Structure 1
Amino acid sequence: MFLRLFILLLIQTFPSGNDPPLFNNSIKLSLKKVIIVGEDRKGPYKLPDIFILKNSEIAIKDTITLERERDYFLNTKTGTILFFESLKKEDKVTISYHYFPFTIKKEYKRRSIGSFMQGKPVLKEEKIRKDTTKKYEKTGITIGGAKTFSIGMNSYGGFSFDQSLRVNITGEITKGLSISGVLSDENTPLEPEGTTESLEELDRIYVTVKGRGIGATLGDYILHYKTPTTPVIQRDLLGVTGNIKRGGTDVNVAYGIPRGKFHSLHIKGIEGKQGPYQLTSPEGEEDIVIVSRTETVYLDGFLMKRGEKNDYIIDYSLAQLIFTSKRLITEESDIVVEFQYTKIGFRRSLYSTRVDYKKSNYNVGCFFIRDGDEITQTEGFELTKERKAFLASIGDDTTMNWMGSGVYVGEGKGDYSFSDSFYVYRGYREGEWNVSFTYVGDGKGDYVYSDTLSGFVYVGYSSGDYVSKIRCPLPDRVYTTGFDIGFNDGKNLKLQGELFGSDYDRNILSSIDDNDNKGYLTDLNGNLNLVKSKWGDMNILGGYRYRNKNFEPPSRMEKKDFEERWNIRSSTGMEEIKNGGIVYSKENLFLSKANVSSLKRENSKATLREGVFYLRRKNLPNVDITSSTVSIHGDTLLRSVKKTDVTIAYSVWRILPKIFATQELRNESRRKRWREGGGELGFLLLKNSKLVFGYNKRSDEIYNRNEEGYERESRTITKKLVFETEETNIFKGSLNVTSRERRFTPHFPGENTELLFIEFATHSVSFMRRLDIETNYSVTGKNSVVFKEIFYEVKEGTGDYSKDPTTGQYYPDTLGNYKRKIDRIGEGNPVTALKTYIRVGITPAKIIRCNLTASITEENKGSEKMPIYTLRLKRFLNDSLTVKGRQTLDGNISLYLLKSTSFSYSLNFLKGLNNELVTRAKRDYSDRNEFRIEQRLTEKSKISLEYSRKRRIEERVEGGLEKSERKEEFSPEYSHYLLDNFEVRIKAKTGNVKIEEPLWYSQLGVINIKTEGISPSLDYTIKNSAIIDACFTVTRNSIPIHEDDLPYDVKSFYPVGITTDWKIGTNISISSMFSMNISYNGLNRPDKKTMHSANAELRADF
C-alpha cells in the first residue's frame, strides 16, 4: 500500500512534457469505456475514475470525434469533463480512456457517480477490463472545487485581502442518505441575459441532504406549495428548509430571504407589437430589476418557454418582455407575468410551515406563512428618524410616500442652490444643496436633464420629466394561514374544502388604517359520479369561492386563463364565484362538458356559461368544439361576450390537415363581432422532416344601428409556412415564415399594419468535423399607417355631429355644425429588424485550420424593405434610416506548411451606428489585422515575426468625426531553451500611432506618436516544484507636440518619454492539492512616481 501511494505521488508531480514514459512499462494501465447521458447542461460530468492518463481519451458524439480544448475540457486528476456546448437529454457521448488502477481512490462508492451538481446517476459504464475495486468500497462522497486566499498591496498604501471558495459535493453519507450541493462565496452582481432557455446557475449555493422520508436544503432553493386545488406560493429563497415524510404525513418548515418581491401583472397585447412590454411594480414603477429565472409567462392561458428559439426573451435589468415570432401578439392576446423584482427599500424575510396528512380516502393540510420587510435592514435607502416619523404619519396611503430630496450640505459643498421654490444647478461643488431627482414621466414633472450642464434644470410646474422628490418605500408585512380537507373514495365522490386567512399591513411603521388588515378566502369543490357504464361516465361538478375585500394572497391564486375566460381583469377586492356543471365522457371516444359560473364583486357581477365537446377516436377526426357566453353587469362598458370555437384535425397517411373557425360577439358601447377561420396542411416528409402551410382570415365588424346590421371595420389575413428537417446527424435546418396584414375599411379609424416574420436556421457538420457551418437569419418587418377620426366645423344645421360642451365628445346630430372624416396621419411607420450570422469552421487537413464568423444586426425605418431582407449592405447603417445597427466579422486561419514553420492570420471588423438618441447619435468603426510567422530554428530555439494594423473611428452623426486612432506595430521575438527547463525570450516592437480628435481638439490636427520597446523575459521550471517567470519591458513614446497640449486620454495611454515595467512571479506546486502564486510588479512612468505592487495567492484544488 505504501509503495503504491509513493508511486501515486510521483505521478502527480512528474511533468509530462519531454520526460520519458516512466511508468508505461512498469504498470499495466486499465482501459474503460463510459457513456455520458446529457442533462441539458455543459457539466462538469463526473467520470468513475481519477488519475486518467493524459491524452489517452477518445470522446465520440454521434460518430463524430470530439477534440480536446475545442469541444471539451478534461481534468485528468479529478476525473471530470466539461463540454463547451450543453449536452441535450437525448445526447450521448462515449468516452474511452486509460487510467491508473490503484486501489487508493478519491471516492468509495457502490453505484455510478452522477452529475456533479445533482444526485441522480448520469453515466452508464461499460468496462473493457474487470474492475479492481475492493468489496469494502460501499459508499462515498465526491468533493471537488477550489479555495483561494489572495493578498495584495502597492506603494501608495493600498492593501487588499480576498478569498473565494467553490465546492461541488455529491454522493452518499451512509446507506440511504445522500448529499449534493454547491458551496461558493463568489459574487455574481449582474443579472444574466434572459435570451436562453436554461441559464447557468452560477449564483446558486446550496447543500441538499436526502434520506428515507427526510430531506433538508441549506442555501438557495425554491419554495413551492399548493393545495390540491389552489396554488399558494412560489418563491426563490436563500435560507434553510426541511421536510419529513412518515406514514402519510408530510411536514415542511422553511425560512429564507426572498431574492425579490412577488408581483403578478396582466398585460393586454397590442396589435403588431411583439415587444418590449414593460413590467412594473404594483405602484406602476418601471425602475425595477427582475430577479433572473423567477418569471413565469402565460399567453392566453398557456405557459411560455424562455429563449430566442422558443417563445420569449426578457431583459431582467430593464424589466422588459419581448415575444419571438413563434408567438404572434394581437389585440386579443392576454399576457400574464408572475415575477420577483428588486428595488430600493427594505430587506425581506419569509418563513413558513406546513403539514399535510393523507391516508386512505382523506387528506388534511394546514400552513402558515410570514412574508414581510425588516425595518432594521434597508437596501439602498437610509431610514432616518425624520423619514421614519414621516412614514408613521401617512398610514397605508401609497400615494403619500413622497418626500423632498434636498439636503443642505453647506456653501461650496453641493451642486444646487435653492431659489424661491425650486432648485438651480450651479455646477460641481458650486452650490449649497445636494438633490436627488426622480423620473415621473413626460409632462408630469418640474425639471429636465440638461446634457450641456450635466445637471437638472427647472422648467415650470408639470412641464418637465423629473421632480425633486424621492419615494420612500413603505415597509409591509403579510401573514397567511390556511387549512384544507378533502375526501376521495376513488370511485364516485370527491370533495375538497379550503379556508385561507391573511393579515396584511401595508405600513408596519404606522398604526393608522390598520382596521382593514385582516381578510379571508374560502374555496369548496366537489365532483360526484352519477353514472358509470359501458356507454360512458356522467359526473356533476360544483364549486364555491368567496374572498372578502381585505384578503391578500401571497401569490396569484386565480387560474392562468382567468382573463381569457371571464374577459375581465383579476383583482384583489371582494369576489364571490359559484360554478356548477356536468361532464359526460367515454374513454378513448369523447368528452362533453357544460358549466355555469357566476362572479360577483362590489360594483359588478358576471355570469359565464361554457360548453365543451372533444372527440378522440382512432381512425376518426379529432374534433374540438368550445362555446362560452359571459354576461357582465356593473361599472364597465363591456356587457357581454359570446365566443364559439370549432377545430377539426385528421391524419391521413403522412398528411396532417386541420381546419378551425372562431366567432366572438362583444357588446360594449357599440356591439362588435369578429370572425376568424382558416386551416393548416402539414406533410411528414421522409423520416424526420415536416412541412406545414397555414392560412386564416379574420373579419372585425361593428353593428350599425341605422342599417340594423354589421359592417366590416377591418380585415386581417395571416399566412404561415413552417419547415423542419433533421434527416441525418450532419445536417438540420428550419424555416418559419409568418405574415399578417390588417386593413381598416375607409370609413373607420385605425392602424393598418403589415407584419412579416422570417426565421431560417441551419447547422451542418461534415464527417470528422472537417467542415462545420452554422447559419441563422431572423427578420421582422412591420409597416403601419394610422387613420384618425377628425371632426371639423361647418355651418350650423349642415353638419352631422354636434359637440358636447361639458365632455367635449361628439354625438350624431342631423342639424349639427360638425362633420366627420377619416384622415391619414403621417407617411407611415415602417420598421425592419434583422439579425443574422454565419459561422464557418474548416479543417480540410492537419496543415490548415480556418474559422470565420460574420454577424449583422439592423433596425431600419426605411420604407423599402427588400434591400434589408436581401442583405444589400449599402442600404444598411444609414444616418437617416437606421435606428441602430452593427456589422462584425471575425476570422482566423492557421497554416502548418512545414513541420518547423507555421503561419497565422486573424482579422476583426466592426461597423456600427446608433440613432436611438438623436442628440447623441454615434457611428463607430474598427478593424484589426494581425499576421504571424513562426519558424523553429533548432529543437531549442525559434523565432516569430508579428505585424498588426488597427484602426478605430468614432463619429457623431451631427457633429462629424469625434476621434480617430490608427496604429501599426511590428514585433519580432526570439526564444531559446538554455536548458530543458530554462527558456529565455526577447521581444522588440516598433510602431506608429496617429490620433485625431477634431471635435474637441481641432487645433492639434493629427497627433503622430512613435512607440518603440524591448522586452526580455524568462521562464524557469524547477522540476515538479515551481515555475518562475520574469519580464522587463522598456517603452519609449515620442510625440512632436508639447505634453501639456495633449488630450488627457492620449497622455494616459501614451505617456511621453520612457516607461519601464517589470514583473516577476512564481507558481509553486506545494503538492497535488496545494499551489501558490507570488508576483511582484513595478511601473515607472515619466509623468508619475514609481509604483510597486505585490500579490500572493494560495490555492487548494480538491
Structure 2
Amino acid sequence: MKPAYKLILFILLVLHASAVLFPQNKYNTVTVTDSIPINFENSYSISGVAIIPFSETIILRDSLLQRFTDYQFSYSTASFTLSDTLPYSLFDTLLITYQAVNLSLQKEYKKRSLVIRYSEKYGDTVRVVEIEGSAFTPESIFGEGMQKSGTLIRGFTVGTTKDFSLNSGLRLQLSGRLSESIEIVAALSDQNTPIQPEGNTERLEEIDKVFIQVKHPNAVGTFGDYQLSNRNGEFGVINRKLQGLMGSFNISDFTGYGAIASSRGKFNTNNFNGLDGVQGPYQLTGLNGEKFIIVIAGTEKVYIDGIEMKRGENNDYSIEYANATITFTPKRLITDASRMAVDFEYTDRRYSRNFLGTGVTANLFDDKLKFGIQYLQEGDDQNAPIDIALSEEDKRIISEAGDDPLKAFKSGISLAEEDSLGVRKGIYQAVDTLINNEPFTYYIYNPGDSLSIYNVSFSYIAEGGGDYVREALGQFRFAGIGEGAYLPVILLPIPQVKQIGNITASYSPLENVHIDVEYSGSLWDRNRFSDLDDTDNFGYATKLTLRVDPSEVKIGSVNLGKIGFSYKDRFINNKFTSTDRFNEVEFNRIYNTSGSSEQEDEQFREVRLNLIPVKELNIISSGGFLRRGESFKSDRFNNIIKLSDNNKYNLYYNFDYVDTKNLSRLSRWIRQSGDVNYILWKLKPGFNFLAENKRDRQSSKDSLLSGSLEYYELNPYIELIDLEGIKFTAKYSHRDDYLPLNGLMVKEAIVKAQIYDLTYRGIKEVTTSLNFTVRNKKFTDPFKEKGFLDTEQILIRSQSKFNFWEPVLNGNLFYEVSTQKQAKLEKVFVKVEQGAGNYRYLGDLNGNGVADESEFEPTLYDGDYIIVTIPSDELFPVIDFKTNTRWKIKFADIFARNSLPGEILKPLSSETVWRVEEVTREEDLSKIYLMQLKFFQQEGVTIRGSNFFQQDLYINENKQELSFRFRYTQRFSMN
C-alpha cells in the first residue's frame, strides 16, 4: 500500500499549496461595523449573517479586546459575551468590525413584531402587534431574480383490492443568483423514487435526481446526485454517476476538482456479435458473467462496428435498464456480422460502493507547459453488504479465497427439513454413479419423490465451466462434467477496491508541436477481506507521444501542401488496471489480439504520417506494432485516402494489413473499405464496399484454422437529397461469405439485402417516415448439410403525423415489426408484507415440496405474495409487432363560431386511440406483417399480446370551472 500513500500525500500537498497560493477572491466578502450598547444580559448579537471566523475586532473605551481573554465569540450563533473580569459600565458602547460573506440574506425574517406602546385609552403601556413593512416572501429571502417551480402532491388511494392510504410529495426546483457572483441551482424532493426511467428516448427524465449546486466564477460546489466526467491523459479516465459532494475551482492558470460520494455501480464493457434475424433483446452481463443485474440509467454507450449509436425508439436502440437488455430498432439492421460493444455501469446489490477522486491541472507559460495530477479510488465497502448477509464463516471462506473468486464458495446442497411427521420433502434427488472410473454424485430435479430429500442452490460459473444447465426457475439438469454453466454451490461475493493515480505533462515548444508524457499507477485489491495475493496489486503504465499538427511545407517556391506527423509509445504492466476503458472501441480487433493474454506486459508503438497536398486530398498512413509478453506480436500497416469536394464528390478508401503471431499460430488479415459518390442535381448516386481476408494457420501447416474468414460486400445506392420536402434513399447489398471447411476456404452463403428510407415534410399538415429492410441469406450445400438454415429478415417501421384543418383534426399512425429472440417468462411468487400483496399461499396441496402456481389464489386485502416474471436462459425466435393510431377532433372548429352548429358543437371534442401489440412464435410472417388479426393472440403461439381500444368524449375539455369526460375502453390481452 506504500505507493498509494505516497501518491495521496503528494496530491494533498499540491491541493494545500494551491489553496494557500490562490485563496478565495477577496471581493466575495464585505467589511461590517456594528455599534452595540452594553446590556444587562451580557449577550450581544451582530447584524451580519455569515461572519468569517476570527476576523472580528472589538473595541471598548478605545481599547482592543483580546479574544478568549476579554470575550467569547460563538460563530454559529453570530453572538458573543464579555468576560466577567472585564471592567465596563452600562453607559459604554462596543464597536465591532468583522468580515462577512457577501450574501443577500437577512438575519431575521418576520411579518409581524410585538412592540410596547403607551395607550391613552388605558393610561398604561400595552403590547400590540405591528405589521412589518416588507412581507415574508420567497423573494425577501432569495431575491427578486430567483426562479422557482415545483409540485406539491396531496392525494389518497382506495380500491377494491387496496386499503385506504394517503399520498404526499414535494418536488422543488430553484435557480437564480444569491448575490452578484453566486448562483444557485437546486432540485429538491422528499420522495424516494427508485424507478429507473424508460430507455426508449434519446434524453432521459431522471425524476429521482436531487441536488444543490452553488456556482461562482471561480468555483462550483455540488451536493447530491451528479455526473463526474474527467480525463487526465490517456489512463486517467472517469465517467460516473455519483451521489455525494463535489467541488471544482478555476483560478488563474489552475483548475481542479474533488469528489467524495457513494458510487451507484460498477463499470463494465460487453463485446458480442449479433445474430441473423435478431434485433434483440441482447443480454448484458456483469464482470463475472452475472445476468441478473440492473444497468444504471443513462450510463450506457452502445457501439456497432465501432460507431456510437443513439438511444431512442426513433434512433438506433432502446434499453431495459431493469433487465439489462438492449433491442435495436428497424433503422439499424443487425446481422451475424454486426460487432457490438457496450460500456455501462451496473449494480448487483452486493455491497455499497464508495468513491473518492481529486485532480489538479496547471497551464503555464501561455499554455505551452501543462501539468496534471489525479487520484481516484473506487471500491466496495466490505462492512456494508446490501442484499446479502455474511456470517463469520462466510467471511472466513472469502478471506481464504485470496484473489480467486471461484474459491469463495460454500456448498449449495442441504438436507430438507423434516416436517411434523419426520419426513424430509426436498426437490432434488441424489444419484451416485461412476465417471471415468471415479465415484461421482449428481442431482436430478424430482419434486414429490420420496428419494428427493435435498434442496440445492446453483450458481452461474461460465459456459463450459459448470455441470448443469438451467431449464426453468429453480430447475436444473445435469448435462455432464464441463458441459453446463452452473454448479451446485453458492458463490460468495468478494469486495474489491481500485486506486488509480496518474501524472501528465505536456510541452508545446512550437505552436504546432506537442510532446506529452504520462505515468499512471494502480492498486487493485481483489479481496478486501484477505491479505493473500496482495503482493501483485500494484501495476503501472507509461505513455510518450510526439505530435506535429499538419503545417504547410515549402521547398523553395514549391508548396508541398500540409504535412503532419505523430509518434506514440505506450507500455502497460500486466498488473495495471483502470477505472474505465481507455483504448478505442475496436482496438483488439484492429490489432487482432484474439487468443492473446491480457495478463502479460504490453508494448505498443505507432507512427502516423498525414499528407494534405491540396485541400481536397487527405492521405493518412500509419504503422504500428503490439507486443504482449514473449509469445504475441502483431504488426499493422494502414492507409486512408480521402478525396472530397463536399458540394460535388466524395471518395474514401481504407486499406488495413495486420500480421500476427501468437505462439505457433500465424495470422494475416487484410481489410478494405471504400465509398464513392457524386452529387448531380438533387441526386447522389454512390457505391461502397467492404472486403476482408483473414488466414489463420499453424506455423508448420497449410490448412486454415477456424478463426479464418473471407467476405466481399458490394453496396450501390442512390439518394434523393431534398425535392419538395421528399428525402429518399435506396440501397442494394450483395455479400459473399467464406469460411474454412476441412482446412480449405469454402463459400458459406450469399446474402442479398434491400434497404429503403423515405421521409416527407413537404406540407405542414403531413409528416411521415418509412424504413423498410429485407434481407435474405442462403447457405451453400456444404453448410446446409451441417444444419445451417436459410434466413429471411424483414424490418418495417413507419411513423406519420397529421394535422388537418388546424386545429380540427390531428393524429398519428405508427407501425413497426421486426424479428427478435426472447426468453420465456416464468412467474415467480415473491413474499411481501401482509396486506401488500395480491395472492396468498394455500400450502403444499399436492405434497411435492414445491410451491406451484396452482397453490396460490388471488385475494383482496390480506395477500402476502406478488407475482414477478423471470426470463429463462433459452431464447426463442419471435416476431415483435407494434401498431397504434390516435386521432383528436375538436368539433367547435368545424363550423363558424357564430353559427348555430358551431354554438352547439363548441363544448365537444373527442380522442380515439387504438393500439395492437403482439409477440408471437408464428412461423408464417405474412400473417403478422399484414396484420391478420384472426391469427393474433393464439394459444400456444402468442407469448404476449394486447388489443386496446379507447374512445373519449369531452365536454368543456380543460375548463377548470366544469368539465366532463366520457370514456369507453376495450382490451383483449394474453400474457
Fold shared, TM-score > 0.5 on shorter chain = yes
CA gap of 1:644–1:636, structure 2 versus 1, over 3 A, is farther
Aligned residues: 731
Q: For 1:381, which of 383, 388, 392 is the aligned residue?
A: 388
Deviation string 1:97-124 (CA, Å, 9 cap, x unpaired) is xxxxx99896769xxxxxxxxxxxxxxx
- Cα gap change, 1:106 to 1:425, in 2 (>3 Å): farther
Asked whether 1:763 is paired with 2:801, we answer yes
- Select which of 563, 571, 575 maps to 1:550: 575
CA separation of 1:406/1:183 partners in 2, compared to 1, >3 Å: closer, same or farther? farther
- 1:288 maps to 293
- How far the C-alpha of 1:271 sits from its partner, in A, is 3.0
Partner in structure 1 of residue 937 of structure 2: 877
Residue 625 of structure 1 is aligned with which of 649, 653, 662? 653
Q: Which of 692, 704, 719 is the matching residue for 1:682? A: 719
Match of 1:232 in 2: 237
Equivalence for 2:547: 527
The one-character-per-residue Cα deviations of 1:59-89 (angstroms, maximum 9, x if unpaired) are xxxxxxxxxxxxxxxxxxxxxxxxxxxxxxx
Aligned-partner Cα distance in 2 for 1:640–1:831 = 39
Structure 2 equivalent of residue 484 of structure 1: 504
1:718 lines up with 2:753 in the alignment: yes
Distance 1:781 1:151 in 2: 43
Which residue, out of 628, 635, 645, partners 1:601?
628
CA contact (8 A) 1:165 1:186 kept: yes
Aligned pairs (5 A) from 1:899-918: 906-914=967-975
- Structure 1's 830 and 263: CA in aligned 2 closer, same or farther, altered over 3 A? closer
Q: 1:497 aligns with which of 517, 527, 531?
A: 517
CA RMSD of aligned residues (A): 4.0
| Structure 1 Cα separation of the partners of residues 733 and 324 of structure 2 | 34
Deviation at 1:241, TM superposition (A): 0.6
Measure the CA separation in 2 of the matches of 1:781 and 1:243.
49
Contact 1:543-1:580 within 8 A present in 2 as well: yes
2:762 to 720, 727, 731: 727
Give yes or no for contact 2:278–2:819 (8 Å, CA) kept in 1: no
Kindly indicate whether the alpha-carbon contact (under 8 Å) linking 1:552 and 1:572 is maintained by their aligned counterparts in 2. Answer: no
SS in 1 for 2:527: coil
In the alignment, the residues of structure 2 paired with residue 578 and residue 423 of structure 1 have an alpha-carbon distance, to the nearest angstrom, of 55
Quick one: distance in 2 between partners of 1:711 and 1:418?
A: 48
Q: Secondary structure at the match of 1:387?
A: helix
- 1:881 and 1:167 map into 2 onto residues whose CA distance is 49
Deviations 1:112-137 (A, max 9, x none): xxxxxxxxxxxxxxxxxxxxxxxx99
SS at match of 1:388: helix
Residue in 2 that maps onto 1:612? 640
C-alpha displacement of 1:181: 1.6
Matched with 2:372 is: 365
1:215 to 208, 216, 220: 220
1:318 alignment counterpart? 323
Aligned to 1:327: 332
Q: Is the contact made by 1:231 and 1:556 (CA closer than 8 Å) also made in structure 2? A: no
1:266 equivalent to 2:271? Answer yes
Equivalent residue number for residue 859 of structure 2? none
Letter aligned with residue 512 of structure 1 = L
Q: Are the equivalent residues in 1 in contact too, given 2:270–2:284 (CA < 8 A)?
A: yes
Counterparts of 1:654-669 in structure 2 under 5 Å? 654-668=682-696, 669=704
What is the deviation of 1:739? 1.3
Structure-2 separation of matches of 1:518 and 1:764: 63
Question: Do structure 1's residue 242 and structure 2's residue 263 form an aligned pair?
Answer: no
Q: 1:904 to 1:146 in 2, by over 3 A?
A: closer
**Structure 2 residue aligned with 1:837:** 884
- Residues 782 and 506 of structure 1, relative CA distance in 2, 3 Å threshold: closer
Task: Give the superposition deviation at 1:683.
Answer: 1.0
Question: Cα distance 1:549–1:448, how it changes in 2: closer, same or farther (>3 A)?
Answer: closer
Match of 1:177?
A: 182
Contact 1:197 1:306 in 2 (8 A): yes
| Superposed CA offset, 1:13-44 (max 9, x none) | xxxxxxxxxxxxxxxxxxxxxxxxxxxxxxxx
Tell me if 1:868 matches 2:906: no
Q: What one-letter code is carried by the residue in structure 1 that aligns with 2:610?
A: V
Alignment equivalent of 1:514, drawn from 523, 534, 542 = 534
What are the residue-to-residue correspondences of 1:1068-1083 with 2, within 5 Å?
none
Q: Which of 645, 659, 673 is 1:645 aligned to? A: 673
**Alpha-carbon distance in 2 for matches of 1:730, 1:331:** 41
Q: Structure 1 residues 264, 145: CA separation in 2 closer, same or farther (over 3 Å shift)? A: same
> Contact 2:233–2:518 at 8 Å: present in 1 too?
no
Identity of aligned residues (%): 26
Amino acid aligned to 2:773: T
1:190 aligns with 2:190: no
Aligned to 1:748, what secondary structure does the other structure show?
helix
Cross-structure match for 2:810: 772
Alignment TM-score, normalising by the size of structure 2: 0.68
The within-5 A match list for 1:402-551 is 402-405=409-412, 438=459, 444=466, 469-489=489-509, 491-528=511-548, 532-533=553-554, 534-551=559-576
Please, which of 582, 599, 607 is the counterpart of residue 609 of structure 2?
A: 582
Q: Distance in 1 between matches of 2:748 and 2:456?
A: 52
Deviation at 1:730, TM superposition (A): 2.8
Structure 1 distance, partners of 2:640, 2:486, is 53
Letter paired with 1:580: V
Q: Which secondary structure state, in structure 2, belongs to the residue aligned with residue 349 of structure 1? A: strand
What residue number does 2:834 align with? none
Distance 1:368 1:682, change over 3 A: same
2:662 is aligned with 1:634: yes
CA distance in 2, matches of 1:344, 1:562: 32
Q: Distance in 1 between matches of 2:381 and 2:739?
A: 54
Q: 1:205 to 1:137 in 2, by over 3 A?
A: closer
Contact 1:107 1:140 survives alignment (8 Å): no
- Aligned residue number for residue 1008 of structure 1: none
Tell me the equivalent position of 2:950: 890
What does the per-residue CA deviation read over 1:894-931, in whole Å, with 9 as the maximum and x for residues that have no partner?
5799x9999975322222334xxxxxxxxxxxxxxxxx
Residue 854, structure 1, aligned to residue 875, structure 2: no
Summarize the Cα distance change of 1:735–1:619 in structure 2 as closer, same or farther, 3 Å threshold: closer
- How far 1:542 moved relative to its partner? 0.6
The verdict on how the C-alpha distance between 1:471 and 1:844 changes in structure 2, with shifts beyond 3 A counting, is same
CA contact (8 A) 2:228 2:241 kept: yes
- Please report how far the alpha carbon of residue 295 of structure 1 lies from its aligned counterpart in structure 2 after TM superposition: 1.0
Q: Distance in 2 between matches of 1:724 and 1:173?
A: 49
Q: CA deviation at 1:269?
A: 2.5
Structure 2 CA distance for aligned equivalents of residues 217 and 651 of structure 1: 51
Cross-structure match for 1:26: none
The Cα shift of 1:608 comes to: 1.2
Q: 1:847–1:618: structure 2 CA closer, same or farther, 3 Å change rule?
A: closer
Residue 698 of structure 1: aligned partner: 735
Matched-pair contact (CA < 8 Å) for 2:232–2:374: no
Q: Taking CA–CA contacts closer than 8 Å with sequence separation of 6 or more, which of the two structures ends up with the larger relative contact order?
A: 2
How far apart in 1 are the matches of 2:476 and 2:285?
27
- Aligned with 2:570: secondary structure? strand
Tell me how far 1:163 sits from its aligned partner.
7.2
Deviation of 1:585 (Å): 1.5
The 1-side partners of 2:429 and 2:791 are apart by: 51
**Runs of 5+ unmatched residues, structure 2:** 1-132, 158-162, 431-440, 697-703, 822-875, 893-905
| Structure 1 pair 658–896 and aligned structure 2 pair: CA distance change class (3 A) | same
Shift of 1:441: 8.6
1:951-989, Cα deviation, whole Å (9 max, x unpaired): xxxxxxxxxxxxxxxxxxxxxxxxxxxxxxxxxxxxxxx
The answer to whether structure 1 residue 754 and structure 2 residue 815 are counterparts is no
Structure 1 pair 543–108 and aligned structure 2 pair: CA distance change class (3 A): same
Indicate if the aligned counterparts of 1:188 and 1:203 stay in contact, CA closer than 8 A: yes
CA contact (8 A) 2:279 2:819 kept: no
- Give secondary structure in 1 for the equivalent of 2:407: coil
